[in-house]
Amino acid sequence: MRRRKFLQRLGITGFWASLWTSLLSALTAVLPASLLPIGLGGCDRALNTKGLVGKVAELDEQGEIYVEYFTDRPLLLVRNPQQKEQLVAVNPTCSHQGCIVKWQADKTAFVCPCHGATFGLQGQVLQGPAEQPLQTFQPRIEGDRIFVS
Ligand code: FES
């Protein structure tokens, strides 16, 4: 008797979990990402495949947005201090030996904490030892959300 009841409950729980998952999938497939709250615009920001990386308010509050896994690599998004409306997005993995560079707004540069390489807003090398630029992305603002492609 107990086993039967357990199996019945397991079946009911599985049914509702399946229904909920299907409903979420249908919502994310039908609605544009701009209408979905962050977290549903691709399930998770870290797994977002539609390019949503955050909100404008978040960027302005924190000064940067860091996404550990944007598709298959990290992403660092900042504002150009000289042209605030211009967003800059790079893969912050240093081309020298792979450390994660930090944004330094006062220097208008991405600086590597490991060996001091410095990169400009277009990802270009300003100071070695790195020889290759940082990979860049194309950010855009839609409403109050920021997308990167
Ligand atoms: Fe960045 Fe060496 S890993 S300068």
Give the residue, 37 or 111, on which the prediction is more confident. Answer: 111
pLDDT for residue 19: 52
Residue with CA nearest ligand 1 atom 3: 97
- Distance in Å, CA 133 to ligand 1 centroid: 12
Average pLDDT, the chain: 81
pLDDT for residue 84: 87
pLDDT for residue 21: 53
pLDDT digits (tens, 9 = 90+) for 117-138: 999 999 999 999 999 999 999 9
Question: Which ligand 1 atom is the nearest neighbour of the CA of 113?
Answer: 1
Q: Is 99 in the pocket of ligand 1 (CB under 6 A)?
A: yes
Beta partners for residue 118, in sequence order: 111, 127
pLDDT for residue 22: 55
Say yes or no to pLDDT of 147 above 80: yes
Residue 39, Ramachandran bin (φ over 0: left; ψ between -120 and 50: alpha; else beta): left
pLDDT for residue 37: 52
Q: Is 134 in the pocket of ligand 1 (CB under 6 A)?
A: no
Ligand 1 pocket: which of 91, 112, 118 to mutate (most atoms within 8 A of CB): 112
Mean pLDDT check: name the lowest of 25-39, 75-89, 95-109: 25-39
Q: How far is CA 109 from the centre of its chain?
A: 20
Select from 125, 61, 55 the least CA-distant residue to 96: 125
Say yes or no to pLDDT of 149 above 60: yes
Q: What pTM did the predictor assign?
A: 0.66
pLDDT for residue 56: 92
